Structure 1
Amino acid sequence: MIKILFALFVICLIGIWAAPVEHSSTSTQPPIAILEQQNEKHEDGSYNFYYHGEDGTHRREEAVVRNAGTDHEFLEISGSYSYFDANGKEVTVTYKADDHGFVPEGGDILPQISVAAKQVSEIVAQPDLDYDKPPNV
């Protein structure tokens, strides 16, 4: 569970880090309208969502529960997001996260980072014997 929370934290950080930043103290930008969106949450913890903004940005994400009901239950997450940089070039990042880590690809992410993340995620992890899974509530 800690790995899943960490992976979601990293996803949020990358989204914030990759988003274009405009420094304009004299004018305010109106909010970007969401043209289309969907959000589904399921009782087993799986979910999917997407949205498309009027400025061409979009994001989609899907999570599937793996090993449901076992001590090794985890979410397998995959998704992508896209935006236009200051030069008008579309930047797209795809990612996956599971019990082995977070692997981003594309956009301005250095290929070395993607390769290293993928290699680490493919290593068969040893179970954390000191971790007690919290009871299901």
Structure 2
Amino acid sequence: MKCVLLIVFLSIALCMAAPAEEVQIVKQESQVLSDGYNFAYETSDGSKQEQQATLKKIAPEEDALQVTGSYSYLGDDGQTYTVTYTANENGFQPQGAHIPHI
């Protein structure tokens, strides 16, 4: 549940960081299944996000979502930035060329 909340907050933060000009959704897909979900969208400013989640059994009586996805956006410097990520019982694990490796 923590992973889902983090992803929701991350999506909201990306939307709030969008430019003031009116941006249109040019592609949108989603599917909710009994054991997960997936969605994808693309906007007229070049931003994209896609995400897939499946229910994973991590203990005899404990399930968790295994979420994978990516998002990309055009930065103020004109570069496109892409982040791929996994979110699961081990937390949110982003990867991107612009993210420092620890």
Structure showing greater radius of gyration is: 1
Deviations 1:8-27 (A, max 9, x none): 233344442697465xxxxx
Q: Secondary structure at the match of 1:9?
A: helix
Within the candidate set 34, 42, 62, 1:72 is matched to 62
Within the candidate set 22, 31, 49, 1:59 is matched to 49
Distance of 1:79 and 1:98 partners within structure 2:
12
Query: Which residue is equivalent to 1:93?
Result: 83
Deviations 1:71-121 (A, max 9, x none): 121110000000000111001011101112210111543222xxxxxxxxx
Q: Secondary structure at the match of 2:99?
A: coil
Within the candidate set 98, 111, 116, 2:101 is matched to 111
May I ask how many residue pairs the two structures share in their alignment?
101
Query: Which residue is equivalent to 2:21?
Result: 29
Structure 1 unaligned residues grouped into runs of 5+: 23-27, 113-137
Distance of 1:18 and 1:40 partners within structure 2:
21
User: Which residues in structure 2 correspond to 1:1-12 (within 5 Å)?
Assistant: 5-12=1-8
Structure 2 unaligned residues grouped into runs of 5+: none
Distance of 1:78 and 1:55 partners within structure 2:
23
- Per the alignment, do residues 52 and 66 of structure 1 end up closer, same or farther by CA in structure 2, a change over 3 Å counting? same
Q: Which amino acid aligns with 1:61?
A: Q
Conserved 8 A contact 1:64-1:76: yes
Q: Secondary structure at the match of 2:62?
A: coil
Percent identity over the alignment is: 28
Q: Secondary structure at the match of 1:111?
A: coil
